[in-house]
Chain A
Amino acid sequence: MIRFDAVTKRYPDGTVAVDELDLEAPSGRITVLVGPSGCGKTTSLRMINRMIDPTSGTIWLDGRATADVPPATLRRGIGYVIQHAGLFPHRTVLDNVTTVPGLLGHDRRTARTRAMELLERVGLEPRMASRYPAQLSGGQQQRVGVARALAADPPVMLMDEPFSAVDPVVREQLQNEFLRLQQDLHKTIVFVTHDIDEAIKLGDQVAVLAVGGHLAQLAAPAELLSRPASTFVAGFVGRDRGYRALGFTTGEVALQDEPTVRVGADVGDARRVARDEWVLVVDEGGAPQGWWLLSGDPGGRADHTVEAARLNLGGTLATAGGSLRSVLDAALSSPSGRGVVVDDDGRLLGTVTAAAVIDRIEALARDGRSGDTAAAGRP
């Protein structure tokens, strides 16, 4: 566990970057520091591994004041990942990853074996190991940066905007892989970002900082969206927070049976079972393939069979037990207006309409309001 105890950082020029910060980052969890540029995120992060020393206050790491640990020793036990990876250009990928085990005097062979495993875990092929950083893409460099931080298996990781210098597609990949990795590793992570979406996606808890280094709110992502503690937080969390909060709400929505036909079935059969112009098409295993439009015959050419190539693939699939946001999105994106819900193996369970989802959301909100008077009066 990392604990900030009334920590203040005043730079020599008088700038107060962090002001009396009290904050706890629980073990095995991801704590995200988020806030506008210049609010003291990097400063707070670097005080943990003593790259910056606090002006006053104490930072505790598992019950020890960091000020009592020699900086180099402290840092070797804390993984650190930064925006542009900061790899050593003169060392191969493998040598970059084995840096900290080398400093700790670990056995070279073991360190290299472990480094190869780590590279694989972060999604890099073994042949990348002998490359130099300049021969990697930005996303690959970032993966090496993560592997390097993990090489000596430190219990704590500090990450300063590690994914913000790559394009959105790669960023999403890296985020997902990072979450998967953390499920296995359970590191105590402090993660800095200025992107509220990233904070909400990755954080077990999110600390919103305001300029001047004040802690504006510390909460789980869902609570941050549903109950911002101030207008500053509300503004920072953004406009569509109501919709995004649905991403954290689960709830059973009654499913209706949906008539289906197989790929390659007779159009006549489709017409017989159809509820309206749209018929849902599934494969032999019962996995939805797309929607068939009965009147959709632009060339005037009458189809005899339901062909996979002419299916409408517009609708997203929601998994039963998933968030209400994904269920609502399935309904809104479906050409028939009926959202497709599948089980964990991808087999069709039934469909829902947007109206049904909204009813469910409203019912949940009514329950929430009556059962939760503590929150009354908050903006």
Chain B
Amino acid sequence: MIDYWSSNQAEIWRLLWSHAWLSVVPVIIGLVIALPLGWVAARHRWAYPPLVGIAGLLYTIPSLALFVALPGILHTRILDVTNVVVALTVYAVALLVRVVSDGLTSVSADTLQAATAMGYRPAGRFFAVELPLAVPVIAAGVRVATVSNVSLVAVATFVGTAQLGTLFTEGLSRTVNQLPPILTGILLSLVLALVLDLLIQLATRLATPWRRAEVRR
């Protein structure tokens, strides 16, 4: 195992880095897309069922099917990493539209009315009051999306994108010493998921000092 690590160090780092990148970037893009959609769903009661419903449907598409179908839709090459990013972004959006909408709806009506009465225009109110107060709920959704992405990324091995999942196929293709690459892949995926989860939690804590005040009371 140690031998395997020392002789493949560069390759393992490269795969880990690419895995991390593929896990995080789609969630960020997904969040940027889900914010306006979630805002619409939260603001207009009629918009919630279709938006959240369609988003939920997207989630039921098998990931492999999406990876394979996207080149046809996007006119990209089969092995293009864009396909993976887009597919994972779709899942992130699917999850986050509901989360953003619920987060925004959780802000108390009194607070919103006070903000309007004080002279905030709609956009100002959104960024200064609604969004900061929705952070705890949204952050919880982002954690789920990120961690589930870490496991989804591995599937991309089948469309030729290198990441930690590549270690599984590599291990399986060997005749001897199958275990080290497979174990390394599992172990690093786990560690990556844990680290990303912790980072998000930490960032959330820093962004919401007022919540600690609430708990202390």
- Interface check A82, CB cutoff 8 A: yes
A145 to chain B, nearest CB (A): 8
Instruction: List, in ascending order, chain A residues with CB within 8 A of B51's CB.
Output: none
With A and B bound together, what is the CA distance between A86 and B133 in angstroms? 13
Q: Which residue of B lies closest to A76 (CB)?
A: B119
- Interface check A99, CB cutoff 8 A: yes
- Interface check B152, CB cutoff 8 A: no
Stretch at the interface among A17-25, A128-136, A189-197, A302-310: A128-136
Across the interface, do A103 and B113 meet the contact criterion of CB distance under 8 Å? Answer: no
Instruction: List, in ascending order, chain B residues with CB within 8 A of A64's CB.
Output: none
- Interface check B217, CB cutoff 8 A: yes
Interface size on B, residues (CB 8 A): 23
- The B-contacting residues of A in range 317-337, CB under 8 angstroms, are none
- Interface check A72, CB cutoff 8 A: yes
Across the interface, do B118 and A103 meet the contact criterion of CB distance under 8 Å? Answer: yes
- Interface check A91, CB cutoff 8 A: yes
- Interface check A37, CB cutoff 8 A: no
- The B-contacting residues of A in range 57-114, CB under 8 angstroms, are 72-76, 78, 80, 82-91, 99-100, 103
Instruction: List, in ascending order, chain A residues with CB within 8 A of B117's CB.
Output: 49, 51, 75, 78, 80, 82, 158
Across the interface, do B114 and A86 meet the contact criterion of CB distance under 8 Å? Answer: yes
Across the interface, do A75 and B118 meet the contact criterion of CB distance under 8 Å? Answer: yes
Instruction: List, in ascending order, chain A residues with CB within 8 A of B116's CB.
Output: 51, 75
Q: A75-B119, A89-B133 are in contact. Are A134 and B113 (CB under 8 A)?
A: no
- Interface check B210, CB cutoff 8 A: yes
Contact string, B189-217, partner A, CB cutoff 8 A, digits 1/0? 00000000000000000001110011011
Q: Which residue of A lies closest to B121 (CB)?
A: A72
What are 8 A-B contacts defined by CB distance under 8 Å? A80-B117, A87-B114, A89-B108, A89-B210, A90-B129, A90-B132, A90-B133, A90-B208
Instruction: List, in ascending order, chain A residues with CB within 8 A of B210's CB.
Output: 89-91, 132, 134
With A and B bound together, what is the CA distance between A131 and B129 in angstroms? 18
Q: What secondary structure prevails in chain B residues at the interface with A?
A: helix
B60 to chain A, nearest CB (A): 36
Q: A89-B210, A134-B210, A134-B213 are in contact. Are A100 and B119 (CB under 8 A)?
A: yes
Across the interface, do A51 and B113 meet the contact criterion of CB distance under 8 Å? Answer: yes
Q: A88-B129, A90-B132, A90-B208 are in contact. Are A80 and B110 (CB under 8 A)?
A: no
Across the interface, do B216 and A99 meet the contact criterion of CB distance under 8 Å? Answer: no
Across the interface, do B119 and A103 meet the contact criterion of CB distance under 8 Å? Answer: yes
Picked from B113, B124, B208, the residue with its CB within 8 Å of the CB of A82 is: B113
With A and B bound together, what is the CA distance between A74 and B110 in angstroms? 20
Across the interface, do B114 and A82 meet the contact criterion of CB distance under 8 Å? Answer: yes
Across the interface, do B217 and A88 meet the contact criterion of CB distance under 8 Å? Answer: no
Which 9 pairs, one residue from A and one from B, show the smallest C-beta to C-beta distance? A86-B114, A76-B119, A80-B117, A132-B213, A75-B119, A86-B110, A134-B214, A132-B210, A90-B210
B212 to chain A, nearest CB (A): 9
Instruction: List, in ascending order, chain B residues with CB within 8 A of A87's CB.
Output: 111, 114
With A and B bound together, what is the CA distance between A135 and B216 in angstroms? 8
Q: Which residue of B lies closest to A103 (CB)?
A: B119
